[in-house]
Amino acid sequence: MKNISQEKFVALLEALKGATVIGIEAKTDTGARKTDNPYPEKLILKKTRLAAMLGANYERAVNSELLSTGAGAPEFKSAGLPLWAESVIPGKVVRHKTNGTLYITTLSRPGSRKVSPVKLLGYFDKFGNPIAKPDAEKLITPKKESAKQASAGLDGKEKQVRYNLYKLESLLKVRVSGINYSLTA
């Protein structure tokens, strides 16, 4: 495993042409409920391992999913980036406009999630202490389906294309072009 700084990782992504599969191990904030949350700073982190597409076109992926499932005509239109984000590397990296935080953008389609599902490695508090899955999940609001994809014909979040943003600082390990990297600050 090679150590790589966030700056060099962004440069590596910029050098990649087109879309590519990326393996990710990340520890992300679950956005847990604050009420009745006994954990330090009301924070619950989720450690996961997954494979996703980096640099893929979200609108094209949703329309392709609509065609392949026969769920509807491919007329899905994406709203684009979140309002708070600006593109650094199109389809791969965005920056928060006000605080400068960098994120990678990933897509996963239902078929690829069946072949390579997200693996939950555990829940943790701010200090890295493990939290039992049932204790963590009772404080986490489940993700909702995309209303826009549902109205286009992809009902149910398990049938939808997932678009995720990962803070670079939340990435622990990544696999790009067959090489494993450990991200450093």
Q: Provide the CA 173 distance to its chain's centre, in angstroms.
A: 14
pLDDT value at residue 71: 67
- Domain boundaries in the chain? 2-177
One-letter amino acid at 174 equals V
What pLDDT does 169 receive?
95
More confident residue, 72 or 106: 106
Give the pLDDT score at 170: 96
Over 80: is that where the pLDDT of 185 sits?
Answer: no
The end-to-end CA distance of the chain, in Å, is 16
Percent of the chain residues topping a pLDDT of 90: 65
* Residue 72's pLDDT band (cuts 50, 70, 90): low
Element (H, E) at 151: helix 147-152
pLDDT digits (tens, 9 = 90+) for 112-127: 888 788 899 999 999 9
Element (H, E) at 4: strand 2-5
pLDDT digit string (tens) for 34-54? 999 999 999 999 999 999 999
The identity of residue 129, as a single letter, is N
Looking at every residue in the chain, the average pLDDT score rounds to 91
Give residue-wise pLDDT tens across range 22-36.
Answer: 999 999 999 999 999
pLDDT of residue 110: 86
pLDDT of residue 114: 81
Under 8 Å between Cβ of 63 and 76: yes
- The per-residue pLDDT for range 114-170, each reduced to its tens digit, is 878 889 999 999 999 999 999 999 999 888 888 888 888 888 888 888 999 999 999
- DSSP letter for each residue of 78-140: ---S-TTEEEEETTTEEEETTT--EEEEEEE-HHHHHHS--EEEEEE-TTS-EE-HHHHHTTS
